Structure 1
Amino acid sequence: MKIVPIPAFRDNYQYLVIDDKGTKQAAIVDPVDIDSIQENVLKEKVKLVAGFVTHHHNDHSNHAHKLVPTFGNEVTVYGNDEARIAGQTKNTTDGGVFKIGNLGVKTLHTPCHTTTHVCFFVDDLTTGEKAVFTGDTLFIGGSGRFFEGTAEQMDAALNTKLASLPDDTKVYCGHEYTVGNLKFAATVDGENPHVRAKLRWAEEQRANHQFTVPSSIGDEKKFNPFMRVREPALKKATGKEDPLEVMDVLRTRKNNF
């Protein structure tokens, strides 16, 4: 599996996901800039057969409706919100599976940022590589805002559903927010050496105009405060014992950070 990050807008990521060891079929995650998608499809010499839309917000979906007219009727546009995603052609189910060439895809519904948010877990059946495209649910070192949901829903999304994926699953999120997320993490989990090390690395990457994606599920469990709401350090920092209350306090503080 080859994954090509394609920057868009100020800090968004689209991703071209390619079955590079087999069929050369590909999918585009969160299509918002059809010109850059076309450029990369041509550059990689692949056949685009799918679009994966994590949620309806314009900065993740606004060119979904251009995929079929541009790349043909063989393209399936997967999403979980046909009422709010123009161009969606296939509704996902929680735990639903399908294939892109030799890539197995599983859809994970993660309501909170929006009620219909979905993450896409991709497993290369040839190489064993695994990746999850988390949109605005899980960021490197952070979480999405709870626009249409609750702390309980975000906890279920992060610490039950996504945390249950294999630790070596690569995490590809929807925005380049890593440095800011880890600076916040340092204010609530500052004694954690993983936070400090990851922040130093992320600052170096950005100073050199490099991406900070991907992370991994295993690493997120070490430094992402929203995946550590059951740890004593985060309970102490928030003054709460209930993990859901810890989650809620963390999100409120991050909103104002």
Structure 2
Amino acid sequence: MEARVHASFETFAEPAAEVFGADPVRHTGALSAVASARSRRQAEAMVSVHDGDRLHGAFIGDRGWPAMVSGLPVDAAQLVADALVDAGAKLPGASGPEPQVEAFGQAWTGNIGVTPEYGFRQRVYELGTLVDPTGVRGEFRQADADDTEVLLRWRAEFLAEAVTYVPPEQNPAQALAHQLTGGSVFGLWCVDGEPVSMAFARVPEAGMTRIGFVYTPPDQRGHGYAAGVTAGISRRAQQAGIKHVALFADDANPVSNRIYQRLGFEYVLSYLEVKFTGEPLRH
């Protein structure tokens, strides 16, 4: 087998589309990283794995987020870790299905002498038949530029509360504006015209969008608003013709998992995250 480290997105785009596009729900995290890399024409780590003339796998790490290893076969983990060390790559962690994460985590940390810290688990769901929640007061609407202030505030609160590792953002307002103008959609659940909950649907990749940033401020929780906004943004995605609607749920949060299942989301697989902590002995 051969691991090819790509210096430009142009050479990585074709193998990435072939590997990740073959199963967009399994590779939802990798496809988000690909979208980010495409917009900037680069990423920190892009690797394709080849077995003779056959494409065997793909790996991407971007912008300080955990590297996405869902497309990296277990038998290629050491090969890719070796190639990335030789290329001088710096990785804060990895995320994906458990076998791939454990294989790459062991290979990478063994190479550079840091400690793998396994922990955060998420469930990946895909929407089947959408079931609207009942008895939830309010209505759904799509957010726009006039909602920037509340979206920025809730986006920051969501990241602080629900995401285990967040790379520092130099300009959150610019990041939000890019999301709003780049084909992604924020939705709001409103009561008497006032927003009480939000959700986000990423720009589609390979016929898949992922719902995220599902957030209700603490003083508004317990009224079903998160279910309402998730159903609203999911319905909008389906009406737009998007085939696969996916989302992540914290494995340790039984409330959110129950909500998503009641809305018609079906469990697909689990993701494990590993952080690479400590000072590398070599790089």
Question: TM-score by structure 1 length?
Answer: 0.35
Higher relative contact order (CA 8 A, sep 6+): 2
